[in-house]
Amino acid sequence: MTSTTKWLVRVLGCAAIVTCGMVASAGAQDARLEGRVPEAVRTEVDVIVEGARAAGLPTEALIDRALEGASKGADGTRIVAAVRRLRDELGMARDAMGSASTAAELVAGASALRAGASADHLNLLRSQRADEPLTVAAAVLADLVAVGVPVDTAVTAVLALAEGANDTEFIAFRRNVERDIALGASPVAALGVRLDLAAEVFTTDRAPPPSPRKP
Amino acid sequence: MTEHRDQFDRAVELLKEPVELRADLEQRIMAEVASGPRPKVWTGRFWRAGNWVRRGRPVSVSPLGGLALAAGIVGVLFVGRALPRPEAPAPAPLAEAQGATVAQFVILQPTAASVSLVGDFNDWNSSSTPMRRAGSSGIWIVTVPLDPGRYRYAFLVDGATWVSDPSSPPALDDEFGPPSSVVTIGGS
- CB contact (8 A) between residue A135 and residue B124: no
Whole-number percent of chain B with pLDDT over 90: 37
For chain A, which residues score pLDDT lower than 70? Answer: 1-28, 203-215
The whole-number pLDDT of residue A200 equals 80
pLDDT band at B79 (very low <50, low <70, confident <90, very high): low
The whole-number pLDDT of residue A210 equals 54
Q: Is B161's Cβ below 8 Å from some Cβ in A?
A: no
What is the distance in angstroms between the CA of the first residue and the CA of the last residue of chain A?
Answer: 89
- CB contact (8 A) between residue A108 and residue B177: no
The ipTM estimated for the assembled molecules is 0.79
Counting one residue from chain A and one from chain B, the pairs whose CB atoms sit within 8 A come to: 99
The whole-number pLDDT of residue A20 equals 46
Picking from A116-130, A131-145, B2-16, B163-177, which range would have the lowest pLDDT averaged per residue?
A: B2-16
The whole-number pLDDT of residue A3 equals 66
Measured in whole angstroms, the distance separating CA B55 from the mean position of its chain's CA atoms is 41
CA distances from B35 to B22, B38, B39 (A): 21, 9, 12
- CB contact (8 A) between residue A69 and residue B184: no
The whole-number pLDDT of residue B127 equals 94
Q: Do the Cβ atoms of A169 and A198 come closer than 8 Å? A: yes
Q: What is the DSSP letter of B170?
A: B
Whole-number percent of chain B with pLDDT over 70: 72
Picking from A37-41, A150-154, B63-67, B162-166, which range would have the lowest pLDDT averaged per residue?
A: B63-67
pLDDT band at B91 (very low <50, low <70, confident <90, very high): very low
The whole-number pLDDT of residue B2 equals 61
How far B93 CA sits from the closest chain A CA (Å)?
A: 17
Nearest CB to A132 within list B124, B172, B188: B188
- CB contact (8 A) between residue A146 and residue B148: no
Name A85's Cβ contacts closer than 8 Å, sequence gap at least 6.
B175
Q: Which residues of A touch B (CB under 8 A)?
A: 32, 61, 64, 67-74, 78-79, 81-82, 85, 103-104, 107-108, 111, 114-115, 132-133, 135-136, 139-140, 142-143, 145-147, 166-168, 170-171, 174, 178
- Exposed, middle or buried: residue B84 (CB in 10 Å: 0-12, 13-18, 19+)? exposed
The whole-number pLDDT of residue B8 equals 74
Nearest CA in chain A to B120: A64
Q: Is B148's Cβ below 8 Å from some Cβ in A?
A: yes
In this structure, what are the phi and psi dihedrals at residue B127, rounded to the nearest 5 degrees? -105, 0
Which of A71, A106, A177 would you mutate first to test chain B, the one with the most B CBs within 10 A? A71
| Average pLDDT across chain B, whole number | 78
> Nearest-CA neighbor of A70 among B160, B148, B125?
B125
Q: Is B166's Cβ below 8 Å from some Cβ in A?
A: no
Q: Examine the pLDDT at B158 and tell me if it is beyond 60.
A: yes
Is residue A19 within a helix (H) or strand (E), and if so which, with residue range?
Answer: helix A3-28
The whole-number pLDDT of residue B78 equals 57
**Residues on chain B touching A71 (C-beta within 8 angstroms):** 118, 124-126
Name A213's Cβ contacts closer than 8 Å, sequence gap at least 6.
A156, A157, A160, A192, A195, A196, A199
DSSP string, B26-95: HHHHHHHHHHSPPPP---HHHHHHHHHHHS-------HHHHHHHHHHHHHHHHHHHHSPPPPPS-PPPHH
